[in-house]
């Protein structure tokens, strides 16, 4: 069992959140907290739902309207989703970098300039020999 397991009936969830069960029904109608429904249509709440109900109560006590609370919760859910996506992308990037060790991104030119390289290509090295003789007087 984890924090998302829906096990609490409405009266237990209301008691854990310090609210009246009718308040939980209203929040369900408004879409603030949407519990799972059993085949018999009764509501089942998780610990995450109870934590959300407590957050709603705290925001309400600070004077935030129900519409404001709904928007705050919506934005928090959106941020959580974006954070998860960033973690996924970071993991994918790390895996990609581990699978391609030693790939060149750039090289230094003969004049000290930076030359962009395509992945998997190498710079050409000059292996010519120049012989210099001092001119005779």
Neighbours of 72 (CB within 10 A): 14
Q: How far is CA 44 from CA 17, 29, 32, 51, 122, in A?
A: 14, 15, 15, 14, 62
Q: How many domains, in total, are found in the chain? A: 2
Are residues 60 and 2 both part of a single domain? Answer: yes
Domain that holds residue 75: 66-121
Return the structure tokens found at 73.
């919760």
Give 104-109 contacts, CB < 8 A, sequence gap 24+. none
Return the structure tokens found at 135.
């001119």
* pLDDT value at residue 95: 80
Q: Does any domain span residue 126?
A: no
pTM of the model: 0.63
Are residues 49 and 106 both part of a single domain? Answer: no
Are residues 90 and 47 both part of a single domain? Answer: no
Residue 14 belongs to domain with CATH number: 1.10.1660.10
Which of 33, 64, 95 finishes a domain?
Answer: 64
Are residues 60 and 77 both part of a single domain? Answer: no
Are residues 44 and 2 both part of a single domain? Answer: yes
Q: Does any domain span residue 54?
A: yes
Q: Residue-wise pLDDT tens for the chain (137 aa)?
A: 788 899 999 999 999 999 999 999 999 999 999 999 999 999 999 999 999 999 999 999 999 999 999 999 999 999 999 999 999 999 988 887 777 665 556 666 667 777 766 666 666 666 656 566 677 76
């Amino acid at each position: 069992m984890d924090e998302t397991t829906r096990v609490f009936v409405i009266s237990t969830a209301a008691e854990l959140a310090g609210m009246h069960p009718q308040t939980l029904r209203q929040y369900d109608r408004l879409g603030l907290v949407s519990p799972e429904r059993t085949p018999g249509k009764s509501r089942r709440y998780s610990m995450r739902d109870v934590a959300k109900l407590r957050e709603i109560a705290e925001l309400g006590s600070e004077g935030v309207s129900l519409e404001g609370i709904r928007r705050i919760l919506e934005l928090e859910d959106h941020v959580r989703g974006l954070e998860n996506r960033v973690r996924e992308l970071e993991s994918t990037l790390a895996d990609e970098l581990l699978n391609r060790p030693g790939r060149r991104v750039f090289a230094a030119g003969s004049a000290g300039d930076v030359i962009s390289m395509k992945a998997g290509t190498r710079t050409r090295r000059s292996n010519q020999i120049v012989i210099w003789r001092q001119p005779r007087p």
